[in-house]
Structure 1
Amino acid sequence: MVPLLLVSFIAALAFAAVHVFAGRLRTLGRIPRSGWLSMAGGVSVAYVFVHLLPELAEGQEVMDGSDMWLLSYLEHHVYLLALLGLAAFYGLERLIKKHRRDLPEHQESHAGVFWLHIAAFAIYNGLIGYLLMHGENNRLSTLVLYCIAMSLHFLVNDFALQNDHKDLFRRRGRWLLAMMPLAGWASGLVIEVSELAVSALTAFVGGSIILNVLKEELPEERDSRFSAFLLGAVGYSLLLLGFQST
């Protein structure tokens, strides 16, 4: 148990390090989109569809057995929570893009909009850090796979936020995002929620990951690399399936 706890802490440090050091990989922020970022996005999406969605099916069984009155009225509640995660970040993304269109190209975002965006991703990062200690990450193999997929996902998010908020993100935002996975991990040490709540958090995070990856890959102006995205998705899917069969 102690080695697994240590590995989860190292994973939280890795999440933090992505935000601290990603800015040094300046060549990844170019247009057309770096193949490495497209590949990282493919890995993240593969993790959701091959690993997290089966977990959601198990989470649905947990919710079906719940006696909470609200959940009894929802036939597919765990998937609705995934949809909620996707919709929440989609709405936030539309708000940010509209704000950016109203600003000169190189001007920083208004402070209120910036902090709203960063606060949402800070909570998101904290939840991902918290799930290091809970959910299905109770084996070394699943924990390592989660760490790899989420580290690459954070890399994609970091460049997206850098593009949205310019130097303001580099000076302030990235430090808050770097702290939150560690804060989430520490919360997981002292706060243990029900299996139902873990299923709900996993569903919300899964939907959010799908949106946050695809919003970077789909816009035409990104000139994304489909071949790299497909390579990441297929390669990581095969890796996940290989571990699941053992």
Structure 2
Amino acid sequence: MFLRHAAFALLFAFLPILVSGADSTAENVYSPGGWATLHRSPANRRLVPGVFLGGLEYPVERVWTALEGASVLTAPTSSPDGRTLYVTTGRAAGHANLHAFDLSGRRLWRSMPWQDAGTGLDPCAVLSSVIVDRDGDLYIGDCNQLFSFRDDGSEKWVVPLPPRRAGDWKASESLPVNALTTAVFTRGGHLLGVTNFADVIVVDRKTGRSLAAPMRLPGRVPERSTRLAMPGSVFSNGLLDP
């Protein structure tokens, strides 16, 4: 369990790695901007050759903050040129949950404020990092939808995620939660994700068209924990307990 009240901060120590090369797939689908997915690259290692944080070569210095009071869980990702950062949050209705900043901390754009399960990027976006492709397009899921955005913040497409099935527990009374946790690109350049109830989806990243019927992985879905009550403010006042 996590409890986090975050003000997103850029550390200039990371600037040398934002523009460094990323590990490649057969089709080089991921952005070459240096940090294209949750753990930097499809290798999932967070490895940055030649960088030692905390030493004399790259002293750590906080130079700006943003999104104070918002819930931030996953790593920011970067554009192909390494000069734009994308951050997801878990804010309540009426707020945006995808934000783009330049390296000086200036906000370039944000997604439209979400209103309900069918309108806008809802707070389940906080569970994932945006993944960025070589064209600079962005891909992010929320509680019940999968979105693609262009690098100017305009929406390219949005498609529904598989609904909960009979017997699946409800994580929220107001949102139908069957969320992805950071999708991935396949070697062929498609978009693949697995939801929290183990539904696997594969879609065309250009159009959002489903390339295969969703498949639920075999196994038992764990019961929802009731040991600790989840506060009503979990996604609204800077708290996070995924």
Q: Same fold (TM over 0.5)?
A: no
More strand by share: 2
TM-score bin, normalised by smaller chain: under 0.3
TM-score by length of 1: 0.24
